[in-house]
Copies of this chain bind each other. A is one copy, B any other.
């Protein structure tokens, strides 16, 4: 299958068969992850491979005990990483404090997400399924501790993967035209937005969520139940504090 067909066939997969991910398959995924564009050629990321079920169980609470965090045969965690380059500078007799700031953090996050998405496309082209776990950006201090990450290393993406247990269906998305602007930002009208969100609003899982939780509408279900202001502000503070402690 060519690259575009692989990308267009993407679906979230949260349940995996017992088949382990073979070593040669994992190696292909990791090589693809490590061949993306990178800021100035620096490759400011690290990938942590989790196969050990004890490690998965240890980290499950930090993923709020989502079943996928322990049921997947393989989890790849991508970290923004300036530590390696710092060490290289130090042993080269060069100052190591040029990249301990917000700009450098943003570069390293970008490198890590590029690597992660390359890994995803590669994995899906080999028949695997996967799902990103946003929880990696919540309990950052606990993950840093569990993975024994040094200063200037921050986990930013966490992707369980494996062979899908069964077929899953495509999740409705916004029409691509809604996300694309010509030359300058196009401010969508209320009518345009209403039409754009229609497929998401009509998706059975979203209708069920709104009805079961009495959240009134899809926007309300997001804001008042799924990702609440007080949680986001709490975890924003955790993230900002931890970025300072990691030296960014």
Residues on A lying within 8 angstroms of B by beta carbon are 1-4, 6-8, 10, 12, 28, 30-43, 45-52, 55, 84-85, 87-89, 91-95, 97-99, 101-104, 106-107, 109-110, 113-118, 120-122, 124-126, 130-132, 134, 137-138, 146-150, 153, 156-157, 171, 173-174, 176, 178-185, 187-188, 190, 193-194, 197, 200, 217-220, 222-224, 226-229, 232-233, 235-236, 239-240
B181 touches A47 (CB 8 A): yes
- Given known pairs A110-B113, A193-B87, the reply for A150 and B3 (CB within 8 Å) is no
Q: Of B149, B233, B235, which is within 8 A of A185 by CB?
A: B149
A227 touches B98 (CB 8 A): yes
In the A-B complex, the 3 residue pairs with the smallest Cβ-Cβ separation, listed nearest first, are A3-B125, A92-B219, A98-B229
Q: What residue of chain B has the Cβ atom nearest to residue A94's Cβ?
A: B219
Distance, CA A7 to CA B240, complexed state (A) = 34
Assembly of this chain: how many copies? 2
List the B side residues contacting A103 at CB < 8 Å.
Answer: 137-138, 232-233, 235-236, 239
- Given known pairs A94-B224, A102-B239, A132-B37, the reply for A173 and B43 (CB within 8 Å) is yes
Distance, CA A39 to CA B158, complexed state (A) = 12
A46 touches B92 (CB 8 A): no
Q: Of B48, B126, B146, B171, which is within 8 A of A41 by CB?
A: B171
Q: Which of A4, A113, A124, A239 has the most CB of B within 10 A?
A: A4
